[in-house]
Chains A and B, each alone.
Chain A
Amino acid sequence: MNKTQRFLRDNIGFFFVLPWLIGFLIFKAYPFVSSLYYSFTDYDLFKGISKYTFENYVNVFANKQERTALIITFKYAFMTVPLKLVSALFIAYILNFKIKGVNFFRTAYYIPSILGGSVAIAVLWRALFKDGGLIAMILGRIGIESPKFFTDNNWALFMVCLLRVWQFGSAMVIFLAALKGVPTELYESAAIDGAGKWRQFFKITVPLITPVIFYNLITQLVAAFQEFNGPFIITKGGPRGSTTLMSLLVYNNAFGGAYKMGKASAQAWVLFVILVIFTAISFWSQKHWVYYADEDGR
C-alpha cells in the first residue's frame, strides 16, 4: 500500500462528509456569523455599510411596529404550541386503542402534516375561511353569522395558529410511538387498584411519556417562532399588523424591496436569542417534570 492509498484509506470518512461540510460552511456557518456582524451595521445590500450601530437592536424594542411584531410572535407561539401538543397527544391517545379502522384514522390525521408548510394548504385555508367561503356558508346554513376570520383583529391570529395546530400529525406519530412504549402491566395493575381511564392517563401515561412531550415541545417551539408561510400567504401580516410575525418583518426588510440587511439581521438575531433562552429554560425545567426511566428516575 503506497502513501496515497494509505492517505485515502485513513481519510475516507472525511471525504464522505466533505460535501456536507462545504455546504454547511458556505450556506450555514458563514451566513450565521456574518449576519451577526451585519446586525451591528446599517448594511444595505446596494448601498453597503455607512455606520456601525446598536440602533437595529434598540429598534426591535423601541419601534412600535417591531415591538408589536415581537409580541405577536410570542402570542402565536404560546397559542400554537400548547394547542398543537394537546391535540396531538389527545388524538394519539385515542388512536392507541384497538378500534376498528385505526390505521385509516392514523393516516387521515397524519396527512395534514405531510402537506407541512405547503403554500397550497395556506391558499386552501384562506379559501375555506374567507368571507363567503365554505365555512361561512355552512355557518350561514345553520343560522350562525360567520365571523370575519381574516379581517377581524380578534380572529386573524387565531386562524393562522389553527392552520398549524391542524397539522399536528408529526407530533401525534411521535406521541403514538411513545404511548406504545408504556408497559401494559402498569395499566392492568392500576385497573385492579380501581384507577379509571383518566387517572391512568395522568398518573401513568403522561409521566412516562414526558421525555417525548419535552422533545415535541422543543421542536414545536422552534417551528412556531420561525413561522412564516401561514401569515405571509393568508393575511400578509394584516389586518392592521395583527398577524405580522417577526419572521415577516425579517423577510420584508431583507428581501421585500428594502434590502436592509443590517436591520433584518438584528431582528433575526433577537428572534434567535429568544429561542435560545426558551430552549434553555425548557432544558433547565426538565429536571422538575421530565421522567427518564433509564436513569435515576429524574
Chain B
Amino acid sequence: MKRKLAATLLAATMVVAMFAGCGTTASKETATPDASTDATSVTETATTEEASSQDPNAYEECTLTFDWWGGDSRHEATIAAIEAFEKKYPGIKIEYNYGAWSDWETAKASEYLSGTNADIQQTNFDWIRKYDGDANTYLDLRTVSDTLDLSQYSDTVLALPVDSKGGLAGIPVSLTGRTFFWNKATYEKAGLSVPTTLKELMEAGPIFKEKLGDEYYPLVLTEYDRAIFMAFYLQAQTGEPIIDQNNNFTMTEEQLKLGLEFITSLEENHVIPTIEYYDGEGAEAIDKSVRWIEGKYAGCHNWDSAHKSLVSALPNGDDLVVGNALMDTGAHGSGTYVKVSQMFSISAKCEHPHEAALFLNYILNDEEGAGIMSTERGIPESKAAFAVCEAAGKIDPMVAAAHKSVMDSNPMYWNPLFDDSSLKGDTALYNNLFEGLSYGVRDGSYSIEDAAADLYAAYTAIAPAK
C-alpha cells in the first residue's frame, strides 16, 4: 500500500513539475509608445481599462503570444513588423510562432480545445463556425475599437466575420475570390485570344484538340475547382448563393443535375482534362504541374491571391493574363463569390486585449507596420494599409488586376458551410463525387442523376433546403 502511495505521489510530483512554469507573466506597469525606444517613459498607472479609457496609446508592459501560417516571405515580413512594433512599444514583448499551412489547422484545433491558443492569431473565416460556435473563443473586436481603428474597413467587410452573438470575431486582412488565369501564349498558338465568355471557352476545347493535340486543354479544374465552378454556374442561373445567409441550401436536385451536366460537358468538349488525366501526373497543385509549366494547361480557375505562384511557375511570366469572370455564365452574371482570405483575431482569454489590439492596429493600419507587412496576405482591406502599399509601389499590378476582376464581378455571399468537412477533404464528398463522375460517366458506373442525388443529400444534410 505504501509503495502504491509513494508511486502515486512521485507520479503526481513529476506531472506537476512538468507543467510548472507554463504560462505568461506580465507586470503592472504601463507605458506610452516611444519611437526612440527609450524605456524611461514607463510610468505607473492603474488598470488596462483605465489606461485605455484615458489614452488609447497607453499600455501595460506584457508578453503577448502570436501565431500565423504562410510561406517564407510572409514570415520574414511579419517578424520584421513584430520587431518594429517592439521597438516602438518597449515593454510589450511578442512571442511568435509560425509555420506552413500543412497540418496547421489540426495543431490549432487542439490548442482551442485545450485553451492554449495564442493571444493573437491569424485565423480563417470558417474557424468562427468551427471553433467559436459559442462566441467564447475570439474576442469581439468592437470592444477594443478605441485602439483598433475599424473605420479603415468598409461596413461590408466588417459584416462578414461575425460570431453567433453578433460580435466581430476577426478583422479581415484581405478578401479573395476565384478568377481565371490564362496562358495567352498557348491560346495564341491555337490561333485564339483568351476567352471572355463561356461560349468562347466552350469553343476553345475542340480547337485546342485539333490544332495543338490531345495534351492541350484550355482550362484545368481539380475536383474542388469543379465544385466551385459548378456553384458559380448555378448561382448565375438563379441569382442566389448556393447556401444563403440563413444556412439554407437554395438549389433543387434538378438544378444540381444541370450543374453536373455543365461540368461533364466541359470534359466531353475537351475544355478540361479528366480527373484521371490530371491525377495521373501526381502534381500536388496546379502550379506544380509540368503541364501547367509547359503551357499544356492554358488556364485555371484559382484564388486571385494565387497569382504569384502561378506566374512564377511559368518560364515566361508575361504569358499569364488574368481573365475577367465569364459574365455570360447565366442570367444573373458570373455567379462568383468572394470570401475573407484571412483574418486576425484576439483570443477571448487574452489578458491584455488592449495591448493585443494595439499590436493589430500597428500591423494592419499603422503607416510603418502596414508598410512592413506589405501585401504578404493579399491586397489589404484596410484603407490606410492599401494607401501605404500603393504609394510604396508594393501592389503588383497583376495581383491588383486579379483582385479587381473578382471584386468587379458582382460577387455573391459565400457561406462557410460550402467548405464543411463532410464536403471538402481528401475522402470527403467533393473529391469522391467529381472523381466518381469523371470516371463514371465514361465507364457507365456512375451517372449524373446518381451524382445529383448524392450531392443534394450531402448539401441538405448540412444546410436544410430552403
B113–A252 touching, CB < 8 Å: no
A240–B427 touching, CB < 8 Å: no
Cβ of B7 under 8 Å from chain A: yes
Q: How far is the CB of B220 from chain A (nearest CB, A)?
A: 14
For B427, give its contact among A152, A153, A256 (CB under 8 Å): A256
Given the interface pairs A14-B3, A241-B432, the reply to whether A127 lies near B282 with Cβ below 8 Å is yes
A residues 102-134 in Cβ contact with B at 8 Å = 126-127, 130-133
B279–A150 touching, CB < 8 Å: yes
Q: How far is the CB of A72 from chain B (nearest CB, A)?
A: 12
A130–B282 touching, CB < 8 Å: yes
Give the complex CA separation of A153 and B435 in angstroms: 12
B14–A22 touching, CB < 8 Å: yes
B130–A46 touching, CB < 8 Å: yes
Give the complex CA separation of A131 and B109 in angstroms: 37
Give the complex CA separation of A21 and B10 in angstroms: 12
Instruction: From A89-97, A169-177, A231-239, give the one contacting chain B.
Output: A231-239
Give the complex CA separation of A150 and B436 in angstroms: 15
Give the complex CA separation of A249 and B422 in angstroms: 12
Report B416-438 CB contacts with A as 1/0, cut-off 8 Å. 00000110111110011001100
Cβ of B276 under 8 Å from chain A: yes
Give the complex CA separation of A126 and B283 in angstroms: 10
A46–B427 touching, CB < 8 Å: no
Q: How far is the CB of B222 from chain A (nearest CB, A)?
A: 12
Q: How far is the CB of A136 from chain B (nearest CB, A)?
A: 9
A130–B280 touching, CB < 8 Å: yes
Q: How far is the CB of A106 from chain B (nearest CB, A)?
A: 32
Q: Which residue in chain B gives the minimum CB-CB distance to A235?
A: B279
Q: Which residue in chain A gives the minimum CB-CB distance to B422?
A: A258
A22–B436 touching, CB < 8 Å: no
A259–B109 touching, CB < 8 Å: yes
A257–B279 touching, CB < 8 Å: no
Q: How far is the CB of B257 from chain A (nearest CB, A)?
A: 20
Q: How far is the CB of A133 from chain B (nearest CB, A)?
A: 8
A240–B426 touching, CB < 8 Å: no
Residues on A with beta carbons closer than 8 Å to the beta carbon of B224: none
Cβ of A244 under 8 Å from chain B: yes
B11–A131 touching, CB < 8 Å: no
B432–A151 touching, CB < 8 Å: no
Q: How far is the CB of B123 from chain A (nearest CB, A)?
A: 15
Q: How far is the CB of A247 from chain B (nearest CB, A)?
A: 11
Given the interface pairs A252-B427, A256-B425, the reply to whether A130 lies near B432 with Cβ below 8 Å is no
Chain B binding surface SS class: helix
Residues on B with beta carbons closer than 8 Å to the beta carbon of A259: 109, 421
For B279, give its contact among A238, A255, A256 (CB under 8 Å): A238
Q: How many of chain B's residues have a CB under 8 angstroms from any CB in A? A: 36
Q: Which residue in chain A gives the minimum CB-CB distance to B131?
A: A46
Residues on B with beta carbons closer than 8 Å to the beta carbon of A257: 105, 421, 424-425
Cβ of B156 under 8 Å from chain A: no
B421–A150 touching, CB < 8 Å: no
A65–B427 touching, CB < 8 Å: yes
Cβ of A34 under 8 Å from chain B: no
Residues on A with beta carbons closer than 8 Å to the beta carbon of B281: 130-132
Residues on A with beta carbons closer than 8 Å to the beta carbon of B424: 257
B residues 164-214 in Cβ contact with A at 8 Å = none
Cβ of A18 under 8 Å from chain B: yes
A151–B279 touching, CB < 8 Å: yes
Q: Which residue in chain B gives the minimum CB-CB distance to A148?
A: B280
Cβ of B159 under 8 Å from chain A: no
Give the complex CA separation of A150 and B277 in angstroms: 10
For B435, give its contact among A47, A131, A150, A240 (CB under 8 Å): A240
Give the complex CA separation of A83 and B276 in angstroms: 28
Cβ of B6 under 8 Å from chain A: yes
Give the complex CA separation of A234 and B425 in angstroms: 16
Q: How far is the CB of B319 from chain A (nearest CB, A)?
A: 22
B15, B112, B282 — most chain A CB neighbours (10 Å) = B282
Q: Which residue in chain A gives the minimum CB-CB distance to B107?
A: A255
Q: How far is the CB of A134 from chain B (nearest CB, A)?
A: 12
Give the complex CA separation of A46 and B424 in angstroms: 18
Q: How far is the CB of B107 from chain A (nearest CB, A)?
A: 10
Residues on B with beta carbons closer than 8 Å to the beta carbon of A238: 279, 431, 435
A18-B10, A236-B431, A244-B427 provided; 16 other pairs, C-beta below 8 A? A22-B15, A65-B427, A130-B280, A130-B281, A131-B277, A150-B279, A238-B431, A239-B275, A240-B436, A240-B439, A241-B432, A256-B426, A257-B424, A258-B421, A258-B422, A258-B425
Could you list 13 examples of A-B contacts with CB < 8 Å? A15-B10, A18-B10, A18-B14, A46-B112, A131-B280, A148-B276, A150-B280, A151-B277, A238-B279, A240-B440, A252-B427, A257-B425, A259-B109
Q: Which 10 A-B pairs have the closest CB atoms?
A: A131-B280, A130-B282, A258-B421, A257-B421, A151-B276, A151-B280, A236-B426, A252-B427, A126-B282, A151-B279
